[in-house]
Amino acid sequence: MTIGDDPSLGTIGLRVEGLVEPQPIKPGTVKRIIPYAMRYRWSLLIVMLVTVVDAVITVSTPLFLKGIIDDGIIPGKMSVVLTMALLVVGLALLNVFAIYAQTLFSGRVGQGLIFDLRTKVFAHVQRQPLAFFTRTRTGSLVSRLNTDVVGAERAVSTLLSQALSTVLTLVLVLGTMFYLSWPITLVTLVLIPIFFLPGKIIAARLERLARSGMQTDAELGSTMNERFNVSGAMLVKLYGRQHEESSDFSRKAAKVRDIAISMAVHGRLLFIIVTLLTTITTAMIYGFGGWFVIDGQLQLGTLVALVGLLLMLYTPINQLTNIQVDIMTALVSFDRVFEVLDLEPIIAEQPGARPLPAPEPGNGTAPHVEFDQVAFRYPAAEEVSLASLEAVPTRALDQGENALVLDGVTFHAPAGKLTALVGPSGAGKTTITHLVPRLYDTTAGTVRIGGHDVRDLTLDSLKDAVGVVTQDAHLFHDSIRANLLYARPDATEPEIVEACEAARIWPTISQLPDGLDTIVGDRGYRLSGGEKQRLALARLLLKSPPIVVLDEATAHLDSESESAIQRALKTALAGRTSLVIAHRLSTIHDADQILVIDKGRIQERGTHDELLAGGGLYAELYRTQFAQQRDLGAEPVKSAVAESGNRALG
């Protein structure tokens, strides 16, 4: 992992020499930034203008003080003193407006840019195929939308005005000082390194501490994240590791505490040293300049102005040393954002794609699904992902990637009928179902819906036509209602209730104190496995797709859930072309066609009775896998089996 990949560390790693490799900026990055910045050209122009105004006002104030002393106080001219004092106040007020405008407009540019980049990256990432998400580490992706987008914004807004103000202030201050007294200015120039050298040393140490602090903070954060989500918490409990977890946490927390103390001390030290040095240099200038004043070579007001100007040198000098690193860091952030935007999704709508036509009258409402000599291998990393977004290069998995996961798969899933997929683990059943809604594209061969190659259909019509319920049906941490409406935002209350009734989940929901407004909890953990699947079925029924792809839950269910799910399934699948990865006896009995998959190929096909009579792989699987359900869960499956007719079991 590179430090820049960590969400909480961002690109700070760049500043720490020796720890993180400097990342080269791609040629053309600056050119690509221009169109983004140009959208805010007027705001940027105002920011630059007020930056100039601010710098000029800041530098001119000591000159007015000089005027007050030399032309007012010393010659005893009250009017000059008053006029100049009022002018200083006026300029200070003007400066308030300048700073206000600068903050407002640079905020608009900065936040506007963050908005533009963030929404663009989010939309782009959503277009990526499933393969992208199976490879990408979520934290790295989130970091692109958070840290890098914010870092990139700095290149345009803050740094632009900061660079301008730093250079301008330095030129103006040094120019004015030379104009007022070149010998004292020369002495000042000699003193400048004293100003920033100790600061640099402590700042470097502070930066190292900050980096290590962020890393420890990130570790602490991810520990909390992992332990506080339901699966993590369950693992801790089941293995009785609370004590070890707590001591590990307190060890990390202690490190965070020690670093924070050290940082506070160093920060204060820096402040003390700078104040001390400023006082010493000021005293030296006063001593040196005082001698000039007594000698009559310098006016008193000029000396006061020189000291005032000298104090203005510290900040820009300090900024100047950091500005190059800051700009490079910001450019790298832009690069990392562009890197994501440049990744073209491999599954996209073809030019000229057509919506799936409505089925011919008399042909039922559901189209048939066909696989024609389909071969498939999972895409390699470089086709779908960015190395920088993956956790560690997954070579081990990649080795097998060139191997075909499916080969020569040809079948016809008749319209409105149930096709069951059975086979050993890793046979390729899930992969087959993924090809129907185009979560992946075939490597060779064609998948057709209603006779149309899925690649020629619009993605929207394909998503409307195919409904998928996965084994671990995902629910968002929101209300049951919101999760259901995800399928069809305009569904009415009676429609929601109807779908829930059909999915046999309504009795459960109606008994909850908050009913449909019950929050399902993180990933739906507050619901049982069976309830979650039935809720997912209700969501599917609301969408009402003509084709259903279903991966049955394998979890052992009690008799009530089992029969509820069976009845729900019957409703969900009625009249629909269904492709079901069957883990239940009742489903395989009901299937109009069973495909037995092994090693990426269809080994056998037929009805339950035909396959059982054939005495092949299915008969073997049935004896070991499905018949086990009958023996182990005689009670649980009894009702469902009875419903589907106990023909083959008898």
Q: What mask, x for binding ligand ATP by CB under 6 A, covers residues 326 to 365? A: ----------------------------------------
Q: CA 84 to CA 73: how far, in whole Å?
A: 11
What is the helix (H) or strand (E) element at residue 254, kind and residue range? helix 242-294
In whole angstroms, how close is the CB of 375 to ligand ATP at the nearest point? 13
Size of interface with ligand ATP, in residues (CB under 6 A): 12
Which CB, 93 or 397, lies closer to ligand ATP?
Answer: 397
Stretch that binds ligand ATP, among 202-210, 425-433, 459-467, 563-571 (CB under 6 A): 425-433
Which part of the chain contacts ligand ATP (CB under 6 A), choosing from 18-26, 54-62, 428-436, 639-647? 428-436
| Other C-beta atoms lying within 10 Å of the C-beta of residue 175 | 13
Do residues 553 and 612 touch, judged by C-beta distance below 8 A?
no
CB of 496 to ligand ATP, least distance (A): 31
Alpha carbon separation from 389 to 135, 286, 345, 553, 608 (Å, rounded): 8, 58, 15, 31, 46
- Phi and psi dihedrals of 375, rounded to 5? -120, 150
CB of 409 to ligand ATP, least distance (A): 11
Interaction of residue 602 with ligand ATP, rule CB under 6 A: no
Interface residue with ligand ATP among 431, 442, 563, 578 (CB under 6 A) is: 431
DSSP, residue by residue, 93-129: HHHHHHHHHHHHHHHHHHHHHHHHHHHHHHHHHHTS-
Interstrand relation of 369-376 and 406-413 (parallel, antiparallel or unpaired) = antiparallel
* List of E strands, 5-110: none
Strand partners, 448: 370, 453
Identify which range of 107-115, 421-429, 507-515, 571-579 contacts ligand ATP by CB under 6 A. 421-429
Q: Does 426 bind ligand ATP (CB under 6 A)?
A: yes
* Residue 560: CB minimum distance to ligand ATP, A: 26
Name the one residue in this structure whose structure tokens are 């520990």: 223
* Tokens representing residue 16 in the block: 């720490």
Tokens in use for 567?
A: 């009845």
Q: How many CA atoms lie within 13 A of 598 on its CB side?
A: 10
CB of 434 or CB of 589, closer to ligand ATP: 434
Query: What DSSP string describes 134-203?
Result: HHB-HHHHHHIIIIIHHHHHHHHTHHHHHHHHHHHHHHHHHHHHHHH-HHHHHHHHHHHHHHHHHHHHHH
Q: Which stretch binds ligand ATP (CB under 6 A): 28-36, 111-119, 380-388, 420-428?
A: 420-428
Among 282, 322, 430, 603, binds ligand ATP (CB under 6 A): 430
429 lies in the binding site for ligand ATP (CB under 6 A): yes
Indicate which single residue of 79, 126, 399, 425 sits in contact with ligand ATP (rule: CB under 6 A): 425
Using CB under 6 A, which residues numbered 121 to 180 contact ligand ATP?
Answer: 134
Assess 405 for contact with ligand ATP (CB under 6 A): yes
Among 105, 132, 338, 378, binds ligand ATP (CB under 6 A): 378
Closer residue to ligand ATP (CB): 367 or 428: 428
The site for ligand ATP (CB under 6 A) is made up of: 134, 378, 397, 405, 423, 425-431
